[in-house]
Structure formats: C-alpha cells, structure tokens
Chains A and B, each alone.
Chain A
Amino acid sequence: MSSVFTKMLTLVRGSAREIGESVVDANATRIYEQEVHEARNAVATAKQELTVVMAKATQTAREIERLKKEITRYEQLAVEALGKQEEALAEEVAGKVGELEAELDEQTRAHADFTVNVANLKDLIRNAEARLREHDRELAVARTTESVYKATMTISGAVGASGSKLMSAKESLERIKQRHADMADRMAAADELDQEFGHRALDKKLAAAGIGDTSDRKAQALSRIRQQHAARAGKEGT
C-alpha cells in the first residue's frame, strides 16, 4: 500500500509545478469523492445486512437446540412405545424422528452458512472501513495541498495587483531591522527632545513669571554697567 504522503509528493513534484497550476485534478477529485461516497453507502448496507444475517444465525442456533430436544423426546417416547409392545406406534414415532432429523440437518447447514456469511461480512466491513479511512486521508491531504496552492495564488495575485512584489528575504530583513533601528532612534530622539525641550520650556515659563536669575538680566546688566561707569567717573574726578 503506497502511503498517502508518497502519492502527494509525486503530485506536488510532478513537472516542477508553478504556483497557479492546480495540484490535484479537480475532476479526478470529484470522481474520487463520489467513489468514497458510494463505498461508504456500501459499508452501511453491509452493516445492515450483517445484523440481519447475525439474527438469522442466532435463530437457526435456537432452532437446532429445539430440534435436538424434540428428537431426544420422541426417541424416548418410541422406546416407551416399544416397551409397551406398541410396534406400530413406535414406528410412527420413528418416522417423526426421521422428519425432525432431516429438519435438523437443514437448520445445521443454514446455520453454518449464516456463520460463514457473518465472518465474511465482518471481514468485508473491516477492509472497507480501512480503505475509507485511507481515502479520506488522501482526500484531506489533497484538499489541503490544493487550498494552500490556491491561497498562495490568491496572495500572489493580491500582491501583484497592489503593484508591489513579494519582497526578497534580505530586503525584508533589512526593512524590519531598519524599521526597528528607526524606531529606536526616534524613541531616543524623542527622549532627548523631551528632556531638552522640557527644561527650556520650564525655564521660559519661570522667566515669564519673573522667577529665577534670567528674569531681569537686562536690568541687572544695566545696573552693573552704571556702577562701573560711576566708579570710573569718580576716579577721573579725583
């Protein structure tokens, strides 16, 4: 029995296929699905048949038991008749025993047939179930492969339609690394900016409120210049 995977590998590898090609012949798959469906129905029918045959086997077994008891009983009755010198009666009973034995033979043959039939049906069902499981698996693998290929086709189509192509791995990796480096840089810059700008913003606010040493720098400078000027004028005056 060739494995499902081996079959699928042959299919997938066949003629170095390209995306877009159908992996599994859709028509063949449909026929196959139909076969599986029919096989499943056949199994269901076989199971019903099996219950009927098993019931018949039980019935014949019961009948055999009954006939055996009857034969024993009539034989005893015939012996009793002989004991009472009832030759004719004994003969009649013997005739009845003969009939019962013929019937027993028939039932025994029927029972043997039913028993063989039950064994055959059980074998048939077991084999069919195993085949169905294999077919189901095969179909599942085929359908998955088909859907993966179709999905890839859909994706390629969508990427193609958007004007871009599927990026190469190196470009892709570069882009991701770049994005992450950019993000790290941006975060660092934002951090720096926040610290710097945050300080200045605070200083500005403080200055505007007339708080801190930068608030009246002009006035302080002017007063310093005036002092220097006054000192120089005083020296020149002496």
Chain B
Amino acid sequence: MNHVQKQIEGLDALVSSRLGGVSTSMQPVPGDMPVIQIVVDGYESLPIYLTFSDAQCLCICYLWTEDEVVAERRGALMEALLDLNISVPLSSFGRIGRHYVLFGALARDSAVTDIAQDVVALLDNAVDALDAFADYLR
C-alpha cells in the first residue's frame, strides 16, 4: 500500500486542476486490496476506484447493475456497448459480477499524471455513458 500511496501522491490535486479547480478528494478504502476512492465535487454519486495488481493499475467506475437493465432491451444494450466500446477515449466497458463498469487500464508503474488523465477521462465518459444508456435502464 505504501508504494501505491507514493505512486499516486498528488493525484487529487492533478485531477482537480484538470477539471478547472473542482475540489477532489482521495482516500483509501479499507479492505484486503489496495483500493483508492476518488470523489469529485458534483460527481459524488460516481466515485472512481483505483486498484493495483501485479501487472496493471485499473481505474474503475461502477455504472449500473444487472437488475437495472430493462430485460427486453438487454441484447440491444450489449450491442450498443460493444459498438461504442472502441470509440470511447481511454476507457472500456466491462462487467464485474453483476456490475457493469467503465474502466481504464494502465501499466503498473504509470506516472501520476497519466493516472490523473485516465481518471478525468473516465469520469467524463461515465457521465456520458449514464446519459447515453439511460433508455436501456429502469
């Protein structure tokens, strides 16, 4: 966890500066995995989570769960996600268990500026995604 903290030192300030000074908070999530939660003012309902494994650093934003998907539009939603996936800058759609997510993957030793760029892109993409896919959700 210590080297993770060192790696992301100043991330909140960098994210804030990229968003034009919007206040941003960063805190570790207690648990057995090194997970950092990033919350941007005005986007409290869309926290971004950073997690680190051997090979990579993942920035994850939880979008919706399986229960929220309108059953008869599920197939169409999948196609839309697949069609859109490659066009979304820096982020990709995915699913963890019953959670649909948007995530960005970076090399394990990425610079904090690269992580900040990914977090900001992820946040913008997540808001867009919620808006774009609202029709498929309850």
Please report A residues at the B interface, Cβ cutoff 8 Å.
17-19, 140, 143-144, 147-155, 157-158, 166-173, 175-176, 179-180, 183
Q: Contact: A18 with B134, CB < 8 Å?
A: no
Q: Contact: B99 with A168, CB < 8 Å?
A: no
The chain B residue with its CB closest to the CB of A174 is: B45
* Across the A-B interface, the 9 shortest Cβ-Cβ residue pairs: A154-B31, A169-B64, A19-B97, A172-B45, A151-B51, A147-B53, A173-B130, A175-B45, A150-B33
Min distance, Cβ A88 to any Cβ of chain B, angstroms: 79
Min distance, Cβ A227 to any Cβ of chain B, angstroms: 61
CA distance A157 to B45 in the complex (A): 16
The bracket for how many chain B residues form the interface is 35 or more
Which residues of chain B come closer than 8 Å to A144, judged between CB atoms? 53-56, 58
Q: Contact: B97 with A152, CB < 8 Å?
A: yes
The chain B residue with its CB closest to the CB of A172 is: B45
Q: Contact: B42 with A169, CB < 8 Å?
A: no
Q: Contact: A151 with B35, CB < 8 Å?
A: yes
Can you name 21 A-B pairs with beta carbons within 8 Å?
Answer: A18-B98, A140-B55, A144-B53, A149-B96, A149-B97, A151-B58, A151-B60, A152-B60, A153-B31, A155-B31, A158-B31, A167-B45, A168-B65, A169-B64, A169-B130, A169-B133, A170-B134, A170-B137, A172-B130, A176-B46, A179-B42
User: What is the predominant secondary structure among interface residues of chain B facing chain A?
Assistant: mixed
The chain B residue with its CB closest to the CB of A168 is: B68
CA distance A19 to B131 in the complex (A): 26
Q: Contact: A166 with B62, CB < 8 Å?
A: yes
Which residues of chain B come closer than 8 Å to A158, judged between CB atoms? 29-31, 37
Q: Contact: A154 with B58, CB < 8 Å?
A: no
Q: Is B63 an interface residue (CB 8 A)?
A: yes
CA distance A143 to B53 in the complex (A): 7
Interface core residue of B97, B99, B130, B131 (most chain A CB under 10 Å): B97
Interface core residue of A143, A152, A153, A157 (most chain B CB under 10 Å): A152
Min distance, Cβ A183 to any Cβ of chain B, angstroms: 7
CA distance A176 to B138 in the complex (A): 17
Which residues of chain A come closer than 8 Å to B43, judged between CB atoms? 176, 179
Q: Is B93 an interface residue (CB 8 A)?
A: no
The chain A residue with its CB closest to the CB of B43 is: A176
Which residues of chain B come closer than 8 Å to A149, judged between CB atoms? 96-97
Q: Is B79 an interface residue (CB 8 A)?
A: no
CA distance A18 to B59 in the complex (A): 21
Q: 19 more A-B contacts (CB under 8 A) besides A140-B54, A148-B53, A154-B29?
A: A17-B97, A18-B97, A143-B53, A144-B53, A144-B54, A144-B55, A147-B33, A150-B32, A151-B35, A151-B49, A152-B60, A153-B31, A154-B35, A155-B29, A158-B31, A158-B37, A169-B64, A171-B45, A176-B127
